[in-house]
Amino acid sequence: MPSPVGVAGEAAPQAAVRGPNWDNRFTVLILFLPPALLLFTLFVVLPIGEAAWYSGFNWNGFGRPTHWIGFDNYRFVLETRAFWLALRNNGLIIVVSLAVQLPLALTLALMLADKFRGAVALRMLFFMPYILAEIATGLIFSFVYDGDYGLVASIWRTFGAEPPHLLASTDTAMLAVLIVIVWKYFGFHMMLFIAALQSLDKSLVEAARIDGATRSQALRHVVIPLLYPTIRLSVFFAVVGSLQLFDLVMPLTRGGPADSSNTMVSFLYNNGISRMRVGYGSAIGVILFAICVIFAFTYKRWFMRDE
């Protein structure tokens, strides 16, 4: 027959599991999980399912879709040169974001993380482009790039040169968009890095300096490794944002000229919405969704598994 001590010892862990904390968590789940699941289903799951369903039809968006064509829309998308050009542009945006935007943001964060006179003003100055709405940013730069009356044209005329029409040339339109992208979003990543730098344990850097490490060595072997979680998160934001870029492109170029500055989303809009080819546009959306999901799960699996 077991002793009372043994019975109490076995019952105690169960009581701890089924205690007030567990009851509180269960109550919170009951109260908040169903509404969240309902909203997620209505605004995420159902639209994705509808897009996948409509992608099988040759449909203009009016009435009920009846002309079933199976996977032909996907074949038409993959056979279109403009789609691959848009996909290439998204890849180019990713490369520029990772090779130019993030290093620029990290460099400025290292310069502005410490407290000194004017640091807050400089941070706000660099962060303000991110606060500005994308549509407003595109409209502003469409005037800046204007080949007749814009700022770029005025600078060119100052040096006696013929001003370029950057947004009207297939050779320079995408370059002009990339410059705006870097200007618009580097402040967001800079603030992420500044927040991470200010939360670092300063004693580790001081210990490295006491041991004889130079400033550059302490930065390379202590500070940067400690920033790896933030850098990985910033890379994730940069890639996903690059894949979904749309608001800046439309007021600047609308994907032109000759589809040279289209992104995946602007290509979807120009073909699926503007031309009322809803089935074709749904196929583009499904392809873009698959790319984003594959990247997100792969990146999470290999680079953010411990975070």
What is the rounded distance in angstroms from the CA atom of residue 262 to the CA atom of residue 160?
33
Peptide bond preceding 257: is omega within 30 degrees of 0, i.e. cis?
A: yes
Instruction: Answer yes or no: is pLDDT of 169 > 60.
Output: yes
Which domain does 15 fall in, by range? Answer: 4-54
Q: How confident is the model at residue 79 (pLDDT cuts 50, 70, 90)?
A: very high
Whether residue 163 lies inside any domain: the answer is: no
Decide if 64 contacts 142 (C-beta within 8 A): no
Q: What is the mean pLDDT of residues 191-210?
A: 89
4 band by pLDDT with thresholds 50, 70 and 90: very low
Number of domains forming the structure of the chain? 2
pLDDT of residue 213 exceeding 90: no
Asked whether the predicted pLDDT for residue 61 surpasses 80, the reply is yes
145 within a domain of the structure (yes/no): no
Are residues 39 and 129 part of one domain?
Answer: no
Residue 225 has pLDDT above 70, yes or no: yes
Q: Are 258 and 219 in the same domain?
A: yes
What one-character-per-residue DSSP string does 21-73 give?
A: HHHHHHHHHHHHHHHHHHHHIIIIIHHHHHHHHHTTB---SSS----B-TTHH
Residue 19 has pLDDT above 80, yes or no: no
Q: Are residues 192 and 104 in the same domain?
A: yes
181 with 33, same domain: the answer is no
The per-residue pLDDT for range 40-50, each reduced to its tens digit, is 898 888 988 99
Q: Cα angle vertex 292, ends 286, 298, to 5°?
A: 130
Establish if 298 belongs to a structural domain: yes
User: Which amino acid is located at 17 in the chain?
Assistant: V
User: Greater confidence, 238 or 218?
Assistant: 238
- For residues 120 and 247, state if they share a domain: yes
Give the separation between CA 80 and CA 284, rounded to whole angstroms: 11
Higher pLDDT pick, 176 / 35: 176
Whether residues 234 and 295 fall in one domain: yes
Q: Is the pLDDT of residue 293 over 90?
A: yes
Task: Say yes or no: 177 and 233 in one domain.
Answer: yes
Question: Looking at the structure, do residues 33 and 176 belong to the same domain, yes or no?
Answer: no
Q: Is the confidence at residue 10, as pLDDT, over 60?
A: no
101 in any annotated domain: yes
Whether 11 has a pLDDT exceeding 80, the answer reads no
Q: Do residues 113 and 228 both lie within one domain?
A: yes
**Within a domain: residue 153?**
no
Q: Which of 37, 54, 71 is the last residue of a domain?
A: 54
Does residue 146 belong to any structural domain of this protein?
A: no
Q: What is the mean pLDDT of residues 93-111?
A: 95
Are 233 and 296 a contacting pair, CB within 8 Å? Answer: no
pLDDT tens digits along 228-261: 999 999 999 999 999 999 999 999 999 989 999 9
Q: How far apart are CA 151 and CA 164, in angstroms?
A: 11
pLDDT range class, residue 9, cuts 50, 70, 90: very low
Give the end of a domain, one of 36, 54, 72: 54
Provide CB contacts within 8 A for 254, sequence distance 6+. Answer: 266, 270
* Pick from 132, 137, 91: nearest CA to 239: 91
**Model pLDDT for residues 28-43, shown as the tens digit of each residue:** 778 888 888 899 898 8
CA angle, 86 as apex, 180 and 73 as ends, to 5°? 145
Residue reference for tokens 């594959």: 294
Question: Is residue 215 located within the same domain as residue 286?
Answer: yes
Q: Same structural domain for residues 94 and 179?
A: yes
CATH of the domain at 286: 1.10.3720.10
Averaged confidence pLDDT in the chain: 88
Instruction: Tell me: do 119 and 254 sit in the same domain.
Output: yes
pTM (predicted TM-score):
0.86
Q: Average pLDDT of 220-229? A: 90
Q: pLDDT digits over 118-142, tens only?
A: 889 999 999 999 999 999 999 999 9
Instruction: Look at 104 and 219; give whichever has higher pLDDT.
Output: 104
Rounded to whole angstroms, how far apart are CA atoms 99 and 227? 17
Looking at the domain assignment, is residue 141 inside a domain? Answer: no
pLDDT at 174: 95
Half-sphere exposure at residue 276, Cβ-oriented, CA atoms within 13 angstroms: 5
User: Would 74 be classed as within a structural domain?
Assistant: no
The answer to whether the beta carbons of residues 197 and 112 sit under 8 Å apart is: no
Tokens of 197: 């730098």
Q: Which of the pair, 2 or 272, is modelled with greater confidence?
A: 272
Q: Given this model, what pLDDT does residue 18 score?
A: 54
If one compares 298 and 160, the residue with the highest pLDDT of the two is 298
